[in-house]
Amino acid sequence: MDHFLYRDGELHAEDVPVAEIAAEVGTPFYCYSTATLTRHFRLFDEALEGMPHLVCYAMKAASNQAILKTLAGLGAGMDVVSGGEYLRARAAGVPGEKIVFSGVGKTREEMRIALEGGVRQFNVESEPEMAALSEVAVSLGVEVPITVRVNPDVDARTHAKIATGKSENKFGIPIARAREVYAEAARLPGLKVIGIDVHIGSQLTDLEPFRMAYEKVAELTEVLRADGHEISRLDLGGGLGIPYERSNAAPPLPTDYGALIRETVGHLGCEVEIEPGRLVAGNAGILVSKVIYVKSGEGRDFLILDGAMNDLIRPAMYDAYHDIVPVREPAPGVEPAKYDIVGPVCESGDTFAKERVMPAVGEGDLVAFRSAGAYGAVMSSEYNTRPLVPEVLVHEHQFAVIRPRPTFDEMINRDTIPAWL
């Protein structure tokens, strides 16, 4: 569910006409709904009600400070994967004790930043990282809570580029080696073992892979406790998918996911952390673009937009599907058209959809990419010296630009020409 609906023939973001935002901000732009962000976060929080838990928003999905502050105000923690994300979360007012630091390649400087600023825990991904974290913690005279990310060798049945829990993936340590790695962690100064971490991938549309992974985690918890380790916290990751194609079966609901967590690990008496990102932010955002031209080709028509792969890279990178709809609601009975929907970037990969059947649109019309709130703006770039796409947040009848579009002068003046040129 989202709050982008047609009203009086115009697509609205909550109570604001999308065309009104476009007239003020220009296109392309991202638009987020506060009501949708709020609803989706609360679904996860309520799904774990009654058991000790913290919902840590995976801010790699969408990390604008306005989004972070909105979710933090609802009680969210944050899952960060870089020093920059850590500092962004702190700048948005998130306390260190609510920030979980994940990621496969943490540097010593990133460790130092988080340890000096305060952190809930580090999710350690390898033995070399564990040794480095111990060194940094000792140098600062602190003890840092850690979990170890185990790789359960479970097929998440998702796109290969976003699967993280199989043996060939780069993440975590093989679950078969967990006992020896935890024994090493217990010997290292500056580290305090508190739990287990697992994350098997993103955009999962079936609960069975979660079940397989969490059952392995439950078994490992008992084994590690028998070895003398304190296992009081289970970080179960995120990954629950969203329905990008309206015609497809809906993925499981957070309530079903919460029930699975209770069933598989609820008997262990652990505090549970989950790290949803896509399901919180995905349907909470749209990308709005304008039609530059409708071009007739050999046996096909091209819809050329002012939005491009640098603004939304998911289709080029993951062959991802986004529902693309006109901002002005089509009249009943209007015949649909078929388009290859493309952007202006000089790459054949700058293609959003091929032979997409949708209501006919013309030059100057606005279209909206639905379910674009996650992995959209955060992955945008200035390729082809195209300005970084702005972001807008809507709250009921109000909207605000939360990341402005840079000017060409601002972009170009970042370059520094050496004195010898």
The pLDDT tens digits of the residues spanning 269-294 come to 999 999 999 999 999 999 999 999 99
Record the tokens describing residue 287, joined without a space: 């990308």
Shared domain check, 318 and 176: no
314 shares its domain with 384: yes
Boundary of a domain, candidates 247, 280, 313: 280
Q: How far apart are the first and last CA of the chain?
A: 56
- Active-site positions read 346
Residue 127 lies in a domain: yes
How many Å apart are CA 258 and CA 71, to the nearest integer? 19
92-112, pLDDT tens digit by residue? 999 999 999 999 999 999 999
Q: How many CB atoms lie within 10 A of CB 414?
A: 9
**Residue 419 covered by a domain:** no
Write down the pLDDT at residue 347.
Answer: 93
Q: How confident is the model at residue 4 (pLDDT cuts 50, 70, 90)?
A: very high
227: Cβ–Cβ under 8 A, 6 or more apart, which residues?
A: 179, 182, 183
Q: Nearest 5°: phi and psi at 235?
A: -95, 110
Higher pLDDT, 32 or 165: 32
Whole-angstrom distance, CA of residue 334 vs CA of residue 299: 22
For the residues 231-247, what does the mean pLDDT come to? 88
User: Is 244 found in the same domain as 377?
Assistant: no
DSSP string, 154-201: ----S-GGGB-SSTTSSSSEEGGGHHHHHHHHHHSTTEEEEEEE---B
pLDDT interval class at 249 (50, 70, 90): low
Whether 92 maps to a domain, the answer reads: yes
Question: What mean pLDDT value characterizes the chain?
Answer: 94
Question: In terms of domains, do 137 and 212 share one?
Answer: yes
Say whether both 181 and 92 belong to one domain: yes
Q: Determine, yes or no, domain membership for 56.
A: yes
- Report percent pLDDT > 90 for the chain: 87
pLDDT above 70 (res 165)? no
User: d(Cα 282, Cα 369) in Å, to the nearest integer?
Assistant: 11
Domain boundary pick from 253, 280, 307 = 280
Is residue 171 one of the residues assigned to a domain? Answer: yes
Residue 18 sits in the same domain as residue 98: no
Work out the pLDDT band at 167, boundaries 50, 70, 90: very low
Could you list the residue range(s) of the whole structural domain that residue 266 is in? 34-280
- Nearest Cα neighbor of 353 from 293, 292, 291, 303 is 303
Domain boundary among 258, 280, 302: 280
Which residue from 130, 276, 156, 280 is spatially nearest to 214, judged by alpha carbons? 156
- Answer yes or no: do 318 and 236 share one domain: no
Query: Would residue 211 count as lying in a domain?
Result: yes
- Residue 204 vs residues 158, 200, 278, 372: alpha-carbon distances, Å: 6, 9, 10, 17
Same domain, 367 and 388: yes
How many whole angstroms from its chain centre is CA 403?
18
Average pLDDT value for residue range 9-16: 98
Q: Are residues 90 and 235 in the same domain?
A: yes
Residue 187 pLDDT class (50, 70, 90 cuts) = very high
The encoded tokens of residue 28 equal 């392309």
Dihedral sign, Cα of residue 9, residue 15, residue 18, residue 20 = positive
Q: pLDDT by residue (tens digit) across 114-159?
A: 999 999 999 999 999 999 999 999 999 999 999 999 998 776 554 4
Instruction: Name the E strands within 297-381.
Output: 301-305, 324-326, 336-342, 351-359, 366-369
CATH number of the domain bearing residue 337: 2.40.37.10
191-226 pLDDT, tens digit each:
999 999 999 887 888 899 999 999 999 999 999 999
> Rounded to the nearest 10 degrees, how much is the dihedral formed by the CA atoms of 182, 186, 187, 188?
100
For residue 273, the cross-strand partners are 54, 235
- pLDDT, one tens digit per residue, over 289-323 is 999 999 998 888 999 999 999 999 999 998 999 99
Confidence of residue 168 (pLDDT cuts 50, 70, 90): low
DSSP state for residue 81 in the 8-state scheme = -
Whichever domain contains 71, its CATH number is: 3.20.20.10
Q: What is the pLDDT of residue 243?
A: 83
Q: Are 152 and 265 part of one and the same domain? A: yes
Decide: 112 and 136 in contact? Cβ < 8 Å: yes
- φ/ψ (deg, to 5) at 310: -70, -20
Tally of domains in the chain: 2
> What pLDDT score was predicted for residue 203?
84
Which residues have C-beta within 8 Å of that of residue 118, sequence separation ≥ 6? Answer: 95, 96, 97, 99
Are residues 98 and 80 in contact, defined by beta-carbon separation less than 8 angstroms? no
**154 CB-side CA count, 13 A:** 24
* Residue 411: φ, ψ to 5°: -65, -50
Whether residue 61 lies inside any domain: the answer is yes
- Give the pLDDT score at 132: 98
As given in the structure block, the two tokens for residue 406 are 């840079």
Bridge partners for 413 per DSSP: none
Residue 162: what pLDDT? Answer: 42
Q: 170 and 107 in one domain?
A: yes
Structure tokens at 109: 């400087």
63 and 113 assigned to the same domain: yes
CA gap 72, 316 in Å, rounded = 32
Residue 420 domain-assigned (yes or no): no
